[in-house]
Structure 1
Amino acid sequence: MEKEINALPRRQFLGNVSKAGILGSLAAFLPGSSSAEVLKSFTAIPEDGHVFLTKPYLQLPSADGMTIRWVTNKLCYSWIEYGEGNNLNLKAHNVTDGLVDAHNRINFVKLKDLKPGTKYSYRVLSKEITDFQPYSLKYGETISSETYSFSTPKANPEAVSWLILNDIHDRPASIPHLLKLNNEDYDYVFFNGDIFDFQKDEQQIIDHMLNPSTDVFASTKPFMFVRGNHETRGKFSRELKDYFSTKNDKGYFAYQWGPVFNIVLDTGEDKPDDHPVYAGIVDFDGYRKEQAKWLEEIMKSSAYKKAKFRVVMMHIPLYHSGDWHGPMHCRELFAPLFKKYKADIVISGHTHTYGVWPPSAEHPYPVIIGGGPQEGKRTLIKVKADSKTLDLVMLKDDGSEVGKYSLKSS
């Protein structure tokens, strides 16, 4: 049976929620529980039927591809119907090691071999799997989203524009509020950490980030995300990455869009690894050292050296952020590289005090720090660049300008 669902229901969900495909084998860890009971305790169960828990959201944009993600409340086989312009004449699903992705709730499909600078329409579909035996699979209801569209970037765009939010801290209304301050076209949104206070369950990710984002942009324009220190906390922090796509599936990554080469660093926690609150189960020092080795190799690349502008985005700033272990360790590892390989600008958050610091003896590049999360301290950072100029403007949540910086290409 197929059913067209164009409106995403807003319901109260029962119990805790979890990553895709919590399997019945978990019952072994809960004596006296059946696999069905364990699955139910982890999964959001709406009052009726098979529904989308999120609208589709766009990830990993490129001139020839786009990744589309969405979450359902039932275990499914999912796919995308898409095509150029207003067409929906093509179908795509994800294949891993010869197996089509199925029997999962967190869905993603990578659209490949797209044309640069081209508009595409798409809709997502999910067919419930009601019974999955070794030699017998039974399907239930199929649900379909409404039709959305996006445009791929040009192969070598002359310009790029993006918006940056940071330190939302579980205040979902801030996302549409800040984005609506922008009245210019843009290519994508970047979330620069601490969108949450800590990670407790799937419903928090849906209600406090994914749904507020798809309500205003994320089904038609892509976003990227890097953790802040608060996203490393809580019982669901290790599942957080299952809801986002990043280059090479890493928390840190680099990409080029037109004249700008971007480096994204995952700065980890701000306290030492041996702090009692971490109970011996973190190693952010090692993780930052891993990134420093990777960073130097990236900065040696010809793409980095030839780019008109080199931008670093990282949640914890190296400077103007106190002397806790995290900022100081980031400074020790990354600051010499930023100086040696001539980063042009570093954009951060974390301190909840917005500011623009021009180059100095400490840092030979401007340091931009976004504000938040309280009303009156929230900021939207707007960046646009072409081959000659990079302009950054920071707006406070009342729309007033509270900082700006411009760079000229050499």
Structure 2
Amino acid sequence: MAVLLGLLVLSAPTRAARIAVGPYLQAPSETSMTVMWITDVNAVSWVEYGTGESLDQKAHRSRHGLIDADRTIHTVTIEGLAPGREYRYRVCSKEIVTFKPYEVTYGETVASDTYTFTTLDGRKDSISFIVLNDIHERNEVLISLTRLAQSQPFDLVFLNGDILGHIENEPQIIDHVLAPCTALFAKQTPFVYVRGNHETRGKFARRLPDYITLPDGRYYHSFDHGPVRFVVMDGGEDKRDTDKEYSGLVDFDRYRAVQRKWLEAEIRSEAFRKAAFRVVVVHMPPQPSERWHGPDDMYQTWRTLYNEGKVDLVISGHTHHYEIRPPVEGVCEYPTIIGGAPQDGAATVVRVDATADHLRVTMTRDDGQIVGTYAIDKVKADSAAAL
């Protein structure tokens, strides 16, 4: 604000916004990529991108004709991209100092370094992805497991639930998910957040979708990459909706029933049926249980559709005991891979390598020891290596 002192006009100095965390990649597809980041002040933001050495294109987010402004969480989807192509990008934010109806005052522009990403490609011959689960805010476990996995390249990362505990505030999400993942891989490799039962708890749990991108606004969705059709499901809570822990604020039985109807359509879709492999990623493994209502409800309502759709693999966590469950004819006609616990010596990272003919699973413990493998061959009989 200018202050007149005699003939001298002093203006309050402007400063650039600071990128507090990010950028991190979300919601990948063959023709788009979503970039998110957080600034320390309200700003208007955009992404500059291009192929080769050029950053000659610009994308911003607008809704109902208005460009997003005066906010700290920034989400920009770059559209019209080509499948399987590498792009360079950087994010830019300009602080909004004052926001009046006919006058907006800006601060300086801050820009990130330049990074690359590659769009998905359903025609790609081979792909690799990793799955992490049940970290429960132990950053050192998240870091050590990811670094183990980074000995070989991968296309995608699935955070398969309970990466967080009860969600109470924004710093918790930043400190235990966004900041470490951005530092480790998320500037160049997208992650898919699969909600766990712990991430439904806490006063800030309903705000989690503000910090990640949910395709079609849902935690459950499907997409293709290479020979794999991915189906992401959300089991919700493990207890009954009526349990006292939830204070009458949950509705997961109906939510799982809605997902069943969606899954019925999914397994009949052309994309699902023509995929070489069909992989379900869900935090809680569907299993019969007298004690735990959520996994039992999933077992009773989703398992038959997994069988009918000839799902090739289910990847879960939740139990805190790493395990490979082979298929059981007439019951669960698909193998289930269950990742480990957050404790030292029990945490795991699951790696999957897929081609049109083969799918290979490797489960590695936090000490670097391979503790389980599973192989699916579209020509020969499936085989598993027991833990």
Q: Shared fold (TM-score greater than 0.5)?
A: yes
Give 3-state SS (helix, strand or coil) of 2:27's partner. strand
Deviation at 1:116, TM superposition (A): 2.5
Give the letter for the 2:353 counterpart: K
2:77 maps to 1:107: no
Give the letter for the 1:388 counterpart: D
Deviation at 1:330, TM superposition (A): 0.9
Q: Answer yes or no: is the 8 Å Cα contact 2:50–2:57 preserved in 1.
A: yes
Q: 1:380 aligns with which of 342, 349, 352?
A: 349
1:55-70 alignment, distance < 5 Å: 55-70=22-37
> For residue 184 of structure 1, what is the aligned residue in structure 2?
152
Q: Answer yes or no: is the 8 Å Cα contact 2:37–2:73 preserved in 1.
A: yes
Deviations 1:154-178 (A, max 9, x none): 3511111100000000112222210
2:216 maps to 1:248: yes
Q: For residues 395 and 139 of structure 1, what CA distance do their matches in structure 2 show?
A: 50
Deviations 1:271-294 (A, max 9, x none): 111111111111011100000010
1:114-193 alignment, distance < 5 Å: 114-154=81-121, 156-182=123-149, 183-193=151-161
2:375 maps to 1:406: yes
1:212-361 alignment, distance < 5 Å: 212-319=180-287, 323-361=291-329
Deviations 1:383-405 (A, max 9, x none): 01111000011000011111111
Deviation at 1:96, TM superposition (A): 1.0
Q: For residues 225 and 288 of structure 2, what CA distance do their matches in structure 1 show?
A: 29
> For residue 42 of structure 1, what is the aligned residue in structure 2?
none
2:59 maps to 1:92: yes
Q: Answer yes or no: is the 8 Å Cα contact 1:53–1:206 preserved in 2.
A: no
> For residue 6 of structure 1, what is the aligned residue in structure 2?
none
Aligned positions, number: 363
Deviation at 1:115, TM superposition (A): 2.4
2:43 maps to 1:50: no
> For residue 6 of structure 2, what is the aligned residue in structure 1?
none
Give 3-state SS (helix, strand or coil) of 1:262's partner. strand
Q: Answer yes or no: is the 8 Å Cα contact 1:86–1:120 preserved in 2.
A: no
Deviations 1:236-279 (A, max 9, x none): 00000111112211010011111111111100000111111111
Give 3-state SS (helix, strand or coil) of 1:312's partner. strand
Give the letter for the 1:355 counterpart: E
Deviation at 1:320, TM superposition (A): 7.6
Q: Answer yes or no: is the 8 Å Cα contact 2:52–2:87 preserved in 1.
A: yes
> For residue 12 of structure 2, what is the aligned residue in structure 1?
none
Deviation at 1:322, TM superposition (A): 7.0
Q: Answer yes or no: is the 8 Å Cα contact 2:48–2:56 preserved in 1.
A: yes
Deviation at 1:365, TM superposition (A): 1.1
Q: For residues 143 and 290 of structure 2, what CA distance do their matches in structure 1 show?
A: 30
2:335 maps to 1:366: yes
Q: Answer yes or no: is the 8 Å Cα contact 2:28–2:190 preserved in 1.
A: yes
Q: For residues 53 and 323 of structure 2, what CA distance do their matches in structure 1 show?
A: 44
Q: Identify if the C-alpha distance between structure 1 residues 321 and 374 changes in structure 2 by more than 3 Å, giving closer, same or farther.
A: farther
Q: For residues 118 and 194 of structure 1, what CA distance do their matches in structure 2 show?
A: 32
Give the letter for the 2:60 counterpart: H
**Seq. identity, %:** 45
Q: Which runs of 5+ in 1 are unaligned?
A: 1-47
Q: For residues 162 and 291 of structure 1, what CA distance do their matches in structure 2 show?
A: 24
Q: For residues 137 and 200 of structure 1, what CA distance do their matches in structure 2 show?
A: 34
2:366 maps to 1:390: no
Give the letter for the 2:113 counterpart: E
Give 3-state SS (helix, strand or coil) of 2:129's partner. strand
Give the letter for the 1:167 counterpart: D
Worse-superposed segment, 87-96 or 146-155: 146-155
With the length of structure 2 as denominator, give the TM-score of the two structures.
0.91
Give 3-state SS (helix, strand or coil) of 1:102's partner. coil
* CA RMSD, Structure 1 to Structure 2 (Å): 1.5
Q: Answer yes or no: is the 8 Å Cα contact 2:289–2:296 preserved in 1.
A: no
Q: Identify if the C-alpha distance between structure 1 residues 283 and 184 changes in structure 2 by more than 3 Å, giving closer, same or farther.
A: same
Q: Answer yes or no: is the 8 Å Cα contact 1:321–1:351 preserved in 2.
A: no
Give 3-state SS (helix, strand or coil) of 2:181's partner. helix
Q: Answer yes or no: is the 8 Å Cα contact 2:200–2:237 preserved in 1.
A: yes
Give the letter for the 2:41 counterpart: K
Give 3-state SS (helix, strand or coil) of 1:239's partner. helix
2:182 maps to 1:210: no
Q: For residues 155 and 278 of structure 1, what CA distance do their matches in structure 2 show?
A: 41
Give 3-state SS (helix, strand or coil) of 2:21's partner. coil
Q: Answer yes or no: is the 8 Å Cα contact 2:17–2:41 preserved in 1.
A: yes
